[in-house]
Homo-oligomer: A and B are copies of this chain.
Amino acid sequence: MVPLGEAAKAIQTGMARRELVLVVGRCKVSYEGRAASKLSEGDRLLIIKHDGTFLVHQSAKMSAINYQGPGAFVSCELALDPNDRKKREPVAIVLSAKRKLANGAVEQIVVRFTEILYAGAYGLKDDSHLKLFGTEKELADLLMSDLHLIEPGMVPLKQESDVRKGTIDILARDAAGNTVVIEVKRRIAGLEAVTQLERYVKELSQRRGSKIRGILCAPDVTASALKMLEESGGLEFAKLDYEIANPSAKIRGLQKKQKIITEYFG
């Protein structure tokens, strides 16, 4: 247990130096802004970063239970007992993070600590940026030169093509000269991947007169998404098999799912 006055000093000093501030202790949290929330007493970890990031973590789960993003204005003050002001004995440390939203409204989170288990601050030196492999973008990059695996004669036209209703991952042309819209997903594709593809194909079909093909390219597809593809009048699915060989990703295979032969005779 750290005396409140001492903890407050550590916190304020750390904030003034724009260090990483850590506080562990018993607190209540309230938030009002885009939504509103209340969290009653309990032990938590508070993290304050130099950019205004303000995170309250409980003892389980990955996500912060309350937070404020970069750019928040953080304040820290001691609360005195209102019934006994002469003693000047602090009863709590009140920390708050306030932030202006895009629409001008304000949101604020207030944390009131009544017991402190730990308070410290550290200046972190870190210039490194994460190098991440296996993103959708990286897969699309690789696919650009592997479209022939989907179908002989398929050639890339453009990557990240902006249309009015979004951004087409890959625009291509097949052997017959048809324009092909390819939507890439790095994981199992669901309904919304299909609606996305549908949207792009529809927009392009309307803009040009000709028929546009659409191919969803993902490691797998949910049953209902596949059904929706089929019902959508000709949208196709290509199974994407990739491997993440740190530090890079590699496409192992890519093949269009063919209708089972029995379907043709069914």
Q: Could you tell me which A residues sit within 8 Å of B by CB distance?
A: 20, 22, 24, 30, 32, 34-45, 47, 49-51, 53, 55, 57-62, 64-67, 69-70, 117-118, 120, 122-135, 164-166, 186-187, 191-192, 195-196, 198-199, 224, 227-228, 244-247, 249
Q: Which residue of B lies closest to A135 (CB)?
A: B35
Residues of B within 8 A of A166 (CB): 191
Instruction: Tell me the nearest residue of chain B to A30, going by C-beta.
Output: B246
Contacts of A20 in B (CB 8 A): 24, 45, 59
- Asked whether, in the complex, the Cβ of A124 is within 8 Å of the Cβ of B37, the reply is no
Distance of A124 Cα from B196 Cα, bound (Å): 44
Q: If the complex has contacts A191-B166, A247-B36, are A69 and B62 also in contact, measured as CB distance less than 8 A?
A: yes
With A61-B70, A62-B53 known to touch, is A246 a contact of B36 (CB < 8 Å)?
Answer: yes
27 CB-based A-B contacts, threshold 8 Å: A20-B45, A35-B186, A35-B244, A36-B247, A37-B131, A37-B133, A38-B131, A39-B128, A39-B130, A42-B125, A42-B127, A43-B122, A43-B123, A49-B59, A50-B59, A51-B60, A53-B61, A58-B124, A59-B124, A60-B70, A62-B64, A66-B130, A164-B224, A191-B199, A192-B192, A192-B195, A192-B196
Give A57 to B122 CA distance when docked, in angstroms.
13
How far does the alpha carbon of A117 sit from the alpha carbon of B36 in the complex, in Å? 36
Q: A35-B134, A35-B135 are in contact. Are A128 and B41 (CB under 8 A)?
A: yes
Contacts of A196 in B (CB 8 A): 192, 195
In the complex, the answer to whether B62 meets A55 with C-beta atoms within 8 Å is yes
Q: Is B165 in contact with A228, judged by CB distance below 8 angstroms?
A: yes
Residues of B within 8 A of A131 (CB): 37-39
With a CB–CB cut-off of 8 A, which chain B residues contact A199? Answer: 191, 195
Closest B residue to A35 using CB positions: B134
What residues of chain B lie closer than 8 Å to A49, measured between beta carbons? 57, 59-61
- Taking CB as reference atom, which chain B residue is nearest A20? B59
- 17 more A-B contacts (CB under 8 A) besides A35-B134, A51-B59? A20-B45, A22-B45, A34-B187, A35-B186, A36-B134, A36-B247, A37-B132, A38-B246, A42-B128, A43-B126, A47-B57, A53-B62, A62-B69, A117-B122, A118-B120, A118-B122, A165-B191
| A129 CA to B59 CA, complexed, in Å | 12
Collect the chain B residues with CB atoms within 8 Å of residue A50's CB. 59-60
CB of B24 within 8 A of CB of A124, answer: yes
A258 nearest CB across to chain B (Å): 24
